[in-house]
Amino acid sequence: MNLVIQKYGGTSLGDVSKISHAAKRIAAADGCVVAVVSAMGSATDTMLDLARNLTATPHARELDLLLSTGEQASAAALALALNELGVPARSFSARDGGIITDGVHGCARIVSIDPVRIRECVASGHVPVVTGFQGIAADSGELTTLSRGGSDTTAVALAAALRAAACEIFTDVEGVFTADPRLVAEARKLDHLSYEDMAELAAGGAAVLAHSSVEYASTHRVPVHVRSSATETSGTWVTGLRPAAPLDSERFTAVGVAHRTGQLRCRLDGVSPTALTTIAAALADSLLHVDMLGYLTADSPAAACSLRFVVNAGDRDQAEGVLAGLRAADAFTGCHWSGPIGKVSLVGRGFCTHHPQARLLLGTLKTHGVAVRDMSVHARRISITCAEHDVLDAVTHLHRMFLDPTPAKGM
């Protein structure tokens, strides 16, 4: 069976005309299609605002139920549009689709899929339209939602379970670019990316694919095609195949520049060496997205040090709740917040031991007046933080230095 998963994001289902356009694309497809949908437009943000206006501490179970209504509405609407075109279609909830999660409200992970009813639907000549971003807890049977971008993960997981030929992610851009094309006019569309490169771009803030979906695709070797819902042109293929290596395989090759805004930096002072593990574990257990974690050691191994980390601005209240308990236990003596800040990441291959690219990156930013606050160097990514108002300059100048078609001096 020639089966393809097609996932439609919120911008691709923003109004009646866009839903009808998605239905026509599905109707015109060669072979069988299983559609996965996100909530229409900004429906999820609207529901989040509703919850926050009602209470400062939304109950996790009820919040999941509230947020899940957006995808349910999209699935039913797209099924209606398909049936109107004469294409038999049926909407599927997470329970109908056999999507099972670990049960963590708000950031659940898919642990298994039993798509027997979806297979039956396809075999009968119908198009299943499945709600993304949600699943059913394995132990309790409660509805849970995945983290942001979870519809991408739902689509990839279904592609793996159904052994689909590919998973197509339809969005409002033509594919994956070397930088956000809305910020950098010189950004170029990439025809192909490896799972590893795409995972690093996603970790750096590229919002075109959720990081968890790339991990799932890599594990199950699902070919992913990121493309525009408005055109028929080919987008970016994300697969396990890598571009041919240059003769000098140690030479650095830049892939892209990613960024993330809306971040806050927290510095904890007076952290005893014995409390470092306790603090790191507490932050991890809270399921907060903690980034750029690092600490400044003192002169003496037994002396207190400073610990710093970056979180999304919207997670500050949750982070402060975790820190309140740690401070009461004397894990640290002082807490200081700063921001808003942004994170900018250069993704590439061939970083050498001494990371000359890091020196060139810092020099480029200094030349253009961008003050770097934090820096972390990974095997395939260098990330820095800076003031939020400097993010555009940082992205533009790093793209020009490392990704301009003309090799930059020092490369």
> Residue 162 pLDDT > 50, yes or no?
yes
The answer to whether the CB of 101 falls within 8 A of the CB of 144 is yes
Rounded mean pLDDT of the chain? Answer: 91
Report the alpha-carbon distance of residue 4 to residue 29 in Å, rounded: 9
Which helix (DSSP H) or strand (DSSP E) does residue 296 occupy?
Answer: strand 291-296
The answer to whether the CB of 398 falls within 8 A of the CB of 344 is yes
Confidence band for 408, pLDDT divided at 50, 70 and 90: very low
Residue with tokens 């992970």: 109
Confidence band for 64, pLDDT divided at 50, 70 and 90: very high
Residue with tokens 């050691």: 297
The pLDDT tens digits of the residues spanning 295-338 come to: 776 555 556 788 999 999 988 988 999 999 999 999 999 999 99
Q: What is the pTM of this model?
A: 0.88
Mean pLDDT, range 361-376, rounded to an integer = 94
> Residue 288 pLDDT > 90, yes or no?
no
Lowest average pLDDT, out of 39-43, 73-77, 132-136, goes to: 39-43
Delineate the domains of the chain, giving CATH numbers in brackets: 3-239 (3.40.1160.10), 254-403 (3.30.2130.10)
The single-letter code of the amino acid at 76 is A
> Residue 250 pLDDT > 60, yes or no?
no
Angle between helices 211-220 and 150-162 (to 10 degrees): 10
Report the alpha-carbon distance of residue 113 to residue 213 in Å, rounded: 15
The pLDDT tens digits of the residues spanning 84-114 come to: 999 999 999 999 999 999 999 999 999 999 9
Report the alpha-carbon distance of residue 233 to residue 37 in Å, rounded: 21
The answer to whether the CB of 258 falls within 8 A of the CB of 291 is no
Higher model confidence: residue 254 or residue 1? 254
- Assign 248 to helix, strand or coil: coil
Mean pLDDT, range 368-388, rounded to an integer = 92
Which residues are CB-contacts of 96 (< 8 A; sequence separation ≥ 6)? 117
